[in-house]
Amino acid sequence: MVIFTNMLVESPGIPSQRERILDAAERLFMERGFAAVTLRDIGTELDTTHAALYYHFPGGKEALFAEVAERNVRRHGEGLAAAIEAAGIGLRARLRGAAAWLVSQPPMDLIRMTQSDFPSLPDADAGRIMSLIYELILLRLQAVFETARASGEIADCDPGLVAGGLVGMVESLHSIPVFARRRSLDEMACELLDIVLRGLGYREGGTA
Amino acid sequence: MVIFTNMLVESPGIPSQRERILDAAERLFMERGFAAVTLRDIGTELDTTHAALYYHFPGGKEALFAEVAERNVRRHGEGLAAAIEAAGIGLRARLRGAAAWLVSQPPMDLIRMTQSDFPSLPDADAGRIMSLIYELILLRLQAVFETARASGEIADCDPGLVAGGLVGMVESLHSIPVFARRRSLDEMACELLDIVLRGLGYREGGTA
DNA sequence: GTCTATATAAAGATAGAC
DNA sequence: GTCTATCTTTATATAGAC
């Protein structure tokens, strides 16, 4: 029986250097965007040099960003699905779970991504990541509204539009400077959610 | 009677080169953010060289961005005030006017500004512009909700939170790629607005 | 795998001609 | 006022030692 070294370093709790790079890069890139982060910033974060990054990511900054952005979208999607799942049934519970997840994560600035980051990437990368955003996040939330509509919990509406508007509204809470936050992002998201729910004619349990 | 040259070049319809630079810079900076735009980009846009920009803006990129960002916020604030004013009375009309104005402008990405652009500026500039955003945009919209609350058009709510959430929701429509827009941003904003209005217990005319 | 050193390119900024 | 040319800094990227 042969034990591979890379199986050991990938064991839980001992993240590989590659993972550590991805973590730091993801945080920096998602906070500031592609253009505003240098490879030296990422190296400094890990107490190493930017040259070391090229061993793990031969494709350089673009490849690193593309991988990091895709990873971020997938993580957002998984967390969203898990939060919705864990919330059980009922539109209000599901949306609160989804919103709590979104504000617990670094901001996902879709305006910056579409207007600034993606145009800097090869079309193939940009297109793939944009499709993932649509598929893993927007469609996932849209399905929640469709389910609620089908069971009579809410009135008729454009579920895709409402899902998108909700993400934008909740994510925008991240733009409140930390010193100006008199309540937690979670509480504020809940209050906004309740307004939207009422606007959709929400009644618990639906027509049943 | 002396006629100053710079009075002539500032006459309507004949924008000075300084104005043309501000216009181009504003569009580019507000679309892509501080880090993603080079002075050469701006020069190219005006069929000139980046060196020429230093004659009009000796402070370089930072000073140009600071002036452009402040100008953009003031323009947003003025347009917002004018749109609300022109809409007459009634919360729905006012919010529709405000939303129509917001989607008619290049996106104002508050997440990117606070997380990425402002940290690149001197604290004084960043603080001043952030205060203007608060004062000219958020407080202006907040006042609309407070007025509506006072006249009984809507139920009690946190007007600052609702104003902020609304801006975030409406602005996020800008992240929909152009090819994927099946309706105009204006129509989508109206539909979202109506949901929020209903959620606030809106009734036309208020208690009167 | 990571480092130092270096090559190359891009971007901010200035000088001086016109 | 604008241009060309140049300088300086910064950033991406590579080479080769360890």
- Across the range B185-190, mean pLDDT stands at 98
State yes or no: pLDDT of B27 exceeds 90.
Answer: yes
The nucleotide minimizing the C1' distance to residue A40's CA is D11
- Which residue of B113, B116, B171 is in closest CB contact with A168? B171
pLDDT, tens digit (0-9, with 9 covering 90-100), for B128-170: 999 999 999 999 999 999 999 999 999 999 999 999 999 999 9
pLDDT of residue A12: 66
Q: Which nucleotides of C are covered by protein (CB under 7 A)?
A: 1-5, 10-16
Nearest chain B residue to A33 by CA distance is B116
Answer whether B111 sits within 8 Å of A109, measured CB to CB: yes
State yes or no: pLDDT of B5 exceeds 50.
Answer: no
pLDDT of residue A13: 74
- Per-residue pLDDT for chain A (208 aa), expressed as one digit of tens each? 443 444 444 566 778 999 999 999 999 999 999 999 999 999 999 999 999 999 999 999 999 999 999 999 999 999 999 999 999 999 999 999 999 999 999 999 999 999 999 999 999 999 999 999 999 999 999 999 999 999 999 999 999 999 999 999 999 999 999 999 999 999 999 999 999 999 999 999 888 6
Answer whether B130 sits within 8 Å of A35, measured CB to CB: no
Q: What is the DSSP letter of B153?
A: S
pLDDT of residue A3: 39
State yes or no: pLDDT of B2 exceeds 70.
Answer: no
Number of Cβ within 10 Å of residue B123's Cβ equals 9
pTM of the model: 0.94
Of A130 and B8, the one with more pLDDT? A130
| CB burial of residue B60 (10 Å; 0-12, 13-18, 19+) | exposed
Dist. CA B93–CA B86, nearest whole Å: 9
Q: Which residues contact A22 (CB under 8 A, 6 or more apart)?
A: A67, A68, A71
Answer whether B33 sits within 8 Å of A157, measured CB to CB: no
Q: Which of B106, B97, B99 lies closest to B73 in space, CA to CA?
A: B106
Which two structure tokens, joined as six digits, stand for B65?
Answer: 């961005």
What is the distance in angstroms measured between the alpha-carbon CA of A51 and the sugar C1' of C6? 12
pLDDT of residue B13: 74
Q: Would you tell me which residues have their CB within 7 A of strand C?
A: A 6, 9, 16-17, 47-49, 51-52, 55-56; B 37-40, 50-51, 54, 58, 60-62
